[in-house]
A and B are shown apart, each in its own frame.
Chain A
């Protein structure tokens, strides 16, 4: 019998080269791919929005977002992804699909998206300038504040975008990108960011 290993490989495994890219000097954009997370899509059943909300509240201790927001607890982030639906982003299986299935029995339909998406965190002084090249939505701090979320498109590719808590006084934008599009969009992002100088890394930690 053969000897197998089931290595996980991010869709960005080859394309992402950690280090500096583009213009030299202080990097204006920081790109971090966050790997190995659990992501579950939760969609309320017909007429069951209230029940789903109650179940979510009981499970996470906070209300799931009903509008374009992302809310965080110590071990999960709930991100609005459309009417009557949200994504649960977490690590280590605690809020993975198997753990959540009994929570939402009868109130919501669940789909595992853990492997369907790539998570890219964008920050830096020029993060907004770079994102303006790929995103048609207004990311001005007064409009897209901390916790704002959007289901939108970048370079004709669907993404879920939300603004995390600021880090070192700077805005942090998180992007969930479909896995099979990820390498292509990554190159687009790098091209867009190159003039500002980029630092590239990957991490296993959800910020």
Chain B
């Protein structure tokens, strides 16, 4: 598989590490145990298009949000995590 890193260009799978579902958002500090439980443990396991976190640890060390079809491995979009390239925020 190959992933087009928004910073590095197309790279082979070996440079990346998979984390998993990128949908769940970390709950606020006061959200309570149930919300955190959901965030930590409840994951969709989609046979189809999924948004996933990948880490370009073998390259620029950016965390990426990759939209991938788990059936075909087709990647339809890759975008940086909010804090990757954040120096340009507001610039």
Contacts and interface: CB of A to CB of B under 8 A. Distances in A.
Chains A and B touch (C-beta atoms under 8 A apart)? yes
Interface of A: 43-50, 52, 68, 81-84, 136-137, 150-153, 156, 158
Contacts of A151: 8, 59-61
Interface of B: 7-9, 11-12, 14-15, 57-62, 80, 84-91
A83 B60 contact: yes
Given A49-B91, A68-B8, A68-B9, A153 B15 contact: yes
A45 B84 CA distance: 11
A136 B15 contact: yes
A49 B88 contact: yes
Chain B binding surface SS class: loop
Among B8, B11, B57, B85, the most chain A Cβ lie within 10 Å of the Cβ of B8
Given A82-B61, A150-B8, A156 B87 contact: no
A152 B87 contact: no
22 contacts: A43-B87, A44-B87, A47-B91, A48-B87, A49-B87, A52-B87, A68-B7, A68-B8, A82-B60, A83-B7, A83-B62, A83-B80, A151-B8, A151-B59, A152-B8, A152-B11, A152-B15, A152-B58, A152-B59, A153-B14, A156-B14, A158-B57
B70 to A, nearest CB: 24
Contacts of A43: 87
A81 B86 contact: no
Contacts of A136: 11-12, 14-15
A153 B56 CA distance: 10
Contacts of A82: 7, 59-62
A149 to B, nearest CB: 10
Residue among B15, B84, B87 having the largest count of chain A Cβ atoms under 10 Å: B87
Contact of A47 (B9, B57, B62, B90): B90
Contacts of B15: 136, 152-153
Nearest to A84: B87
Nearest to B60: A82
Closest 10 CB pairs between A and B? Answer: A44-B87, A84-B87, A82-B60, A153-B58, A49-B87, A83-B85, A50-B91, A136-B12, A47-B90, A49-B88
Contact of B86 (A46, A68, A152, A158): A46
A147 to B, nearest CB: 15
Given A46-B86, A49-B87, A153 B9 contact: no
